[in-house]
Amino acid sequence: MASDVFAGVRLARSPVYGTRGMVVSGHSLASTAGLRTLDRGGSVVDAMISTSAALSVTIQQATSLGGDAFFLYHDAGEGKTVGLNATGHAPDGATTDYYAAGIPSRGPNAVSLPGMVRGWERLHERYGVLPWPGLFEDAIELAEAHPASRVLTAGLDLFRDDVRADEGCRALYFSGDDRIRAGDILRQPALAETLRRIAAGGSAAFYEGEIAETLGACIAEHGGLLDAGQFAGYEPEWVEPLSTDYRGLAVRVMPPNSYGMLMLMQLNGLSGLRSEQLAGDDTDRLDYLIRAMQAAFAAGQPYIADPRGADIPVDRLLGAEMTRQLQDCVVNGAPPTTFRNGGGTSCIVIADGRGNAMSVVQSVFHVFGSAFLDPGTGILMNNRMTGFRVDPGDRRCVAPRMRPPHTLNPVMVLQDGRPRYLMTTPGGPGQTLSMVQVLTNLVDRGMELTAAVEAPRWSVSLDGEFLLEEGYPETVARGLEERGHKVAHGSGSSYFGSAKTIEVLADGVLAGGADTRREAYAAGR
């Protein structure tokens, strides 16, 4: 845990404070790149692009130019929060017949069209201030040479066989049988050149230019469905964020195909309790939180799909009758539901001193995505196709040009129409669980920001078992088992996430909290 111990008492680290700007992301080099952009007079969106591009270089096991993103942006001038869904779709030919034997978790046929790069440009066109080319200077420099991340190199041990099986990954991350080590200088000249082309030619260089041609040819050569022609003309989608009221705060998330709706359903279920019921005994609180997850996932998870191809009754799922049912489940027991947990994801929260703010989650899905890296562009591709089902009766069924379900869940919490909390975390389907816990720590338990982030959490393991993080005593586990929840103790950021958070204090001061369960860094001015 990210804390110090003094005289046997655990002390949370202090937040980073600022008044002019705050950037919190999954890597120190990326956060400082974003802060430098703010210092040059850039907008929140400019800073986000600099940060996001740097992350796509430094932690490709979690995010890359070959991945997707959801963006939540609050414009202080308009007093409005908007969402941009920059997730890509399945290739042409992606049918149930083609995937009759199942969707592979790695390789070229696990790849969906990446959407993030065009999402950057559409946001910049509307909200950018600085010239586009200058936003990539830090990322290009990092691609030429930067120290390898400890989390990336640890991932090479966990997924060694998958990564070594691909020639592009093997050439970048291994020398013979030996993987690179944390702190070794990682050089990615092909990726640096790709970034130069995007800086010079905008997203058209990626989707309609030589980058798409090179990516498409590499994928096709290795038997994949996605070719260069399918990149052309891709557009992200502007969407209205979903919102619910929790203790007088407006909690906003992305609509499906994001999992964000499941977070709102959990909060709706918990809203029938008094804050005191979530602020007391650990066993009681965790029992309520587990029941809220079970009820929300049982009712809502089957509807996390592309609304362009499926009817998704959002109003009913977030409406009064469903909320009453969820509240009853929290108090009296919920369906015995769980899920498998896993994923490779990176997050950004940014705010300036004028009330503009962003929450961003970007990802290649599983750690190292498809483990398919194109040597010509240096881009590691996602494996988002694994979010689909192969069942014609399921709303989430694979189909050409449909978007898969995404566990990505950026969160923006407003008070009196202004941002109060910006919240993100990696962690696959467990993202909504972690965000509910951090928010209830802040709102119901009255915890200071970093204490709320660093408090022990519960989650779900890779095979669906409930886990309690180190810090909860065995008596809590026994108490939960007596209430019907089979639990075990566990550790690791793959399960419990790594929250990136900003709180806007009453006087306008920005407080940033970087959760060091995984690499994270807060930088403020």
pLDDT in the model for residue 5: 36
Per mean pLDDT, which range of 93-102, 245-254, 334-343, 347-356 is the poorest?
334-343
pLDDT in the model for residue 175: 93
Give residue 92's pLDDT band: very low, low, confident or very high (50, 70, 90): very high
What is the DSSP annotation of 297-313?
HHHHGGG-S-TTTS---
How much is the mean pLDDT over the chain? 94
Helix (H) or strand (E) holding 173: helix 167-173
Give residue 13's pLDDT band: very low, low, confident or very high (50, 70, 90): confident
Asked whether the beta carbons of 112 and 404 are under 8 A apart, the reply is yes
pLDDT in the model for residue 341: 56
What is the rounded average pLDDT of the residues 373-381?
98
Tokens at 27, concatenated: 């890597």
Give residue 343's pLDDT band: very low, low, confident or very high (50, 70, 90): low
Query: Mapped to the 3 state alphabet, what secondary structure does 11-64 carry?
Result: EECCCEEECCEEEEECCHHHHHHHHHHHHCCCCHHHHHHHHHHHHHHHCCCCCC
What is the rounded average pLDDT of the residues 267-274?
98
Asked whether the beta carbons of 509 and 22 are under 8 A apart, the reply is no
pLDDT in the model for residue 8: 34
What is the rounded average pLDDT of the residues 454-463?
88
Tokens at 262, concatenated: 């499941």
pLDDT in the model for residue 519: 84
What is the rounded average pLDDT of the residues 443-465?
91
Angle at 363 between CA 255 and CA 220, to 5 degrees: 110
pLDDT in the model for residue 338: 63
Every domain range in the chain assigned CATH 1.10.246.130: 239-343+425-508
Round the CA-based radius of gyration of the chain to a whole number and report it. 22
What is the rounded average pLDDT of the residues 89-115?
98
pLDDT in the model for residue 14: 86
CATH architecture of 239-343+425-508: Orthogonal Bundle (1.10)
Reported as a single tens digit per residue, the pLDDT across 404-430 is: 999 999 999 999 999 999 999 988 888
Is 102 exposed, middle or buried, given 0-12, 13-18 or 19+ CB atoms closer than 10 A?
A: exposed
What is the rounded average pLDDT of the residues 174-183?
94
pLDDT in the model for residue 339: 61
Asked whether the beta carbons of 408 and 432 are under 8 A apart, the reply is no
pLDDT in the model for residue 518: 83
